[in-house]
Structure 1
Amino acid sequence: MKGGGKTGDRNGSGPERGWKEVMLFLAVVSIFIMTFFALIGLVLSIVYTVDSTIDWRYILGSVLFALFLILTQVVTHIMHGRCMYPIYLISSLGLALFFYLFLVSAAILLLILFLIVWGMSFHSFAGAGTVRVLVPVLISAVMLYGLLNARFLRRTRITIPFPEGEKERVRLALISDLHLGLLVGKRRLDAVAGSLKEYRPDLIIIAGDLLDTHPRNLERFEPFVRELCSTAPVLAVSGNHEFYNGYRESLEWMSSMGMTLLENRWVRDERTGLVLIGIGDPTSFGDIGRYREKLHELVESSPGGNGRILVSHQPLFFSEVAGKGVNLMLSGHTHAGQIWPFNLVTRAIFAEGDRGLHEMNGSHLYVCQGTGTWGPPMRVGTYSELVLMDLVRKD
């Protein structure tokens, strides 16, 4: 492959995330989580005590559980190892439990306020018993469904018309947000590799967040990653999690696995004639303005011709690059929200597209919902996907 630009050039970005920033982030998140867990404990004490009075044991227990979740998340990232799997799994599921408990508690709190307005207490409410039963049943059902749904990998097949090229049909496979680590490992890699061998793509594109830990913790997965990379040429960009887990170490590891890095550069694939442009995640630039400038610089410096494909972890500025001759943009990052109702949040944030195929003035954007999961190994209202796309030459 022939190309331009410099791999790993972050265009003058700031230093990687320091300990002070990490500690500040953890402190803010910890206060936020413990505060909301205290609110959950308050509501649960009203629901489950005999006379609907406030029982401080519920509040204290909820706060201690929040502290457990925070500490285990930190410890498992520092002391990463297979023995930490059950602890990390419980902790990650606890985050989902926290979220759904918060939603239910907010609904119950509104009910309690409504009852107070009407001069009633929750204890005297005729439906109190039903609420007490429904809370654990509904949350358990949703979490069980989410766990089972996340175990399946959907093979999404799409066909996209493309400008005249050297081949009548080009097959691409898109992988994004695998999050290889404690919770996503060999089983998912085997599923991806099996599908790729069957599909036989011309190129495999990795649109960031391949890793969910520092590369030094992935030694046991390396043979399976190399096997995946032997299926077809692999081109990859970084995501925000490569930055969090050691930017340069992550890029070096990906390169050592046999991937061609598209980090802030373009290449022309001689087999297909396609021009592929890659840019690192905005996190690695330290400023969205620098990212945007670099994006336009890369697009404008890349040659036109048989079709240009932009690989960007986050689906940002699609309308701008579509107007500059990019025929196809491939992204991920959003997970389509992963668990309901975060899908509503991602739709609002990424207005040009947070999942699936989108078209604008003859250019296309595809946003992968994620080949793996991050945090809770659950999918509610979404699915994990491997995207298999045929680029068919226009008549």
Structure 2
Amino acid sequence: MVDPSSEADVSVDAGSSPATRGAGAGRTLRRLAVLVSVVVSLFLLPWWTLFSSHTDWPLPVVLVGTVLFAAAVPALPVLMVMGHGRRRSDRAARIADTTLGVVWVLFAWSALGNLLRLVLIALGVGDPDRSRIVAIAVAVIATGLLAWGHREAMRLPRVKRLDVIVPRLGRGLDGTRVVVLADTHYGPIDRAGWSARVAEAVNELDADVVCHAGDIADGTPDQRREQAVPLGTMRSRLAKVYVTGNHEYSSEAQGWLDLMAELGWEPLHNRHVVVERGGDSLVLAGVDDMVAASSGLTGHRADLLGALAGANPDLPVLLVAHQPKYVGQAASAGIDLQISGHTHGGQIWPFNYLVRLDQPVVHGLSRHGSRTQLYTSRGTGFWGPPFRIFAPSEITLLTLRSA
């Protein structure tokens, strides 16, 4: 699934040279060609599996199915641009996101359905029975998974509990409870009530530290304020810290930092705070997302040296960085524990395999180098398609243990 968070810029600078304009137009055409190819492929295989491929359905069934698929092919990119581009139409975004989720599931299970076709061929089952069995199986499985996946996306996330040994942690901080939120993605579907229930669940965990690892919303602070306000009711003994994710950089990142400060959080905008308990100290550091440098916002970039400036190097460091792949820099700097989100655990299987091509870890606790550990959350909410299939959302409770 592709995140079309901004409209494609197809304009060409009138003051540029003919060669530059030609190169720009060529790049735009190539991007459009790739987009069209991807969208057509996503719809073509499910259409072929469900309505063609020798199923021999009655003509009205084939016509209705074909018309629906043919209409959805151009509608999806148009609605995506309307919903996630400059216009930010929530209605268009809801339709487009749901359509994207449905066609992705149909595509994946149509591909698997053709493995069933091979089995039926081996068993001697001929057409149209063979193709009808495959079509019905794909339709039933996809429908069931989408219904279950929607419920999983909209439900209160389960609490995932995990002890993490941090060898340099002082004994006074042994048992420190760190609650992790990530990827709440407040967006076109109004989830203010869900947000309030998440806040209640966090407060029941009696946290010492609460971290939000970014991608707080899709939209500006003004658009999503009502959904975000419950974050201000969350309680912690020592600190509540927040870093930007990549989605903030298409929807007023500085505004989100300001709003989170207003709601009582510590925005770790390439900075750190030190928390103490039982005579021992822990550095909580945070960096901007890795896309911040290309956002054009002054002072926004992932700056680990700046985040750690003035920190005692003998103290253990918990770093909040939105993307797991930042762990390379973290390991080089000797960070003890990095907390990240971004991956959603894949959100809709089998997208997790594609996520793995971009990120070192999809979810869970992992070790990188001799000292650094990384915890990657599956995320608390969801982006775009309102489905979670084999990738449950989570509120994470990490209990830090000294060696």
Q: Distance in 2 between matches of 1:107 and 1:223?
A: 43
- 1:331 corresponding residue in structure 2: 340
Of 142, 146, 168, 1:143 maps to: 146
Q: Distance in 1 between matches of 2:146 and 2:239?
A: 38
> For the Cα contact (< 8 Å) 1:42–1:59, is it kept in 2?
no
- 1:370 corresponding residue in structure 2: 379
Correspondence 1:161 to 2:158: no
> For the Cα contact (< 8 Å) 1:229–1:259, is it kept in 2?
no
- 2:127 corresponding residue in structure 1: 124
Change (3 A) 1:112 1:30: same
- 1:263 corresponding residue in structure 2: 269
- 2:23 corresponding residue in structure 1: none
- 1:134 corresponding residue in structure 2: 137
> For the Cα contact (< 8 Å) 1:309–1:327, is it kept in 2?
yes
**Range 20-29 or range 338-347, more displaced:** 20-29
**How much has 1:357 moved relative to structure 2?**
1.0
**Range 364-373 or range 185-194, more displaced:** 185-194
- 1:309 corresponding residue in structure 2: 318
> For the Cα contact (< 8 Å) 2:117–2:131, is it kept in 1?
no
Q: Distance in 2 between matches of 1:208 and 1:390?
A: 21
**How much has 1:74 moved relative to structure 2?**
3.3
**How much has 1:153 moved relative to structure 2?**
0.9
Change (3 A) 1:306 1:184: farther
**How much has 1:236 moved relative to structure 2?**
0.8
Correspondence 1:280 to 2:288: yes
State the Cα RMSD in Å: 3.8
- 1:69 corresponding residue in structure 2: 76
Correspondence 1:183 to 2:172: no
Task: Name the aligned partner's letter for residue 378 of structure 1.
Answer: F
Q: Distance in 2 between matches of 1:227 and 1:115?
A: 57
Change (3 A) 1:17 1:181: closer
Change (3 A) 1:230 1:220: farther
Q: Distance in 2 between matches of 1:35 and 1:132?
A: 18
| Partner SS for 1:282 | coil
Of 95, 99, 105, 1:94 maps to: 99
> For the Cα contact (< 8 Å) 1:38–1:63, is it kept in 2?
no
Change (3 A) 1:198 1:57: closer
TM-score by length of 1: 0.79
**Range 357-366 or range 309-318, more displaced:** 357-366
Change (3 A) 1:382 1:31: same
**How much has 1:130 moved relative to structure 2?**
1.5
**How much has 1:220 moved relative to structure 2?**
2.3
Q: Percentage identity across aligned positions?
A: 27
- 2:200 corresponding residue in structure 1: 194
> For the Cα contact (< 8 Å) 2:287–2:302, is it kept in 1?
no
Q: Distance in 2 between matches of 1:303 and 1:26?
A: 51
- 1:393 corresponding residue in structure 2: 402
Of 209, 233, 242, 2:248 maps to: 242
Task: Name the aligned partner's letter for residue 9 of structure 2.
Answer: K
> For the Cα contact (< 8 Å) 2:341–2:378, is it kept in 1?
yes
Aligned pairs, number? 369
Task: Name the aligned partner's letter for residue 132 of structure 1.
Answer: A
| Partner SS for 2:324 | coil
Change (3 A) 1:325 1:39: closer
Structure 1 segments unaligned to the other structure (5+ residues) = 1-15
**How much has 1:344 moved relative to structure 2?**
2.1
Task: Name the aligned partner's letter for residue 219 of structure 1.
Answer: R
Task: Name the aligned partner's letter for residue 355 of structure 1.
Answer: H
Correspondence 1:208 to 2:197: no
**Range 62-71 or range 197-206, more displaced:** 62-71
Change (3 A) 1:310 1:340: same
**How much has 1:115 moved relative to structure 2?**
11
Q: Distance in 1 between matches of 2:247 and 2:102?
A: 23
**Range 162-171 or range 306-315, more displaced:** 162-171
Structure 2 segments unaligned to the other structure (5+ residues) = 12-26
Where do 1:10-29 residues align within 5 Å?
Answer: 20=9, 29=35
- 2:17 corresponding residue in structure 1: none
**How much has 1:364 moved relative to structure 2?**
1.8
Task: Name the aligned partner's letter for residue 398 of structure 2.
Answer: M
Change (3 A) 1:108 1:168: closer
| Partner SS for 1:274 | strand
> For the Cα contact (< 8 Å) 2:242–2:266, is it kept in 1?
yes
TM-score by length of 2: 0.77
Q: Distance in 1 between matches of 2:232 and 2:391?
A: 29
> For the Cα contact (< 8 Å) 1:174–1:388, is it kept in 2?
yes
Q: Distance in 2 between matches of 1:102 and 1:143?
A: 13
Where do 1:293-308 residues align within 5 Å?
Answer: 294-295=303-304, 298=307, 302-308=311-317
Q: Distance in 1 between matches of 2:129 and 2:272?
A: 66
Task: Name the aligned partner's letter for residue 241 of structure 1.
Answer: H
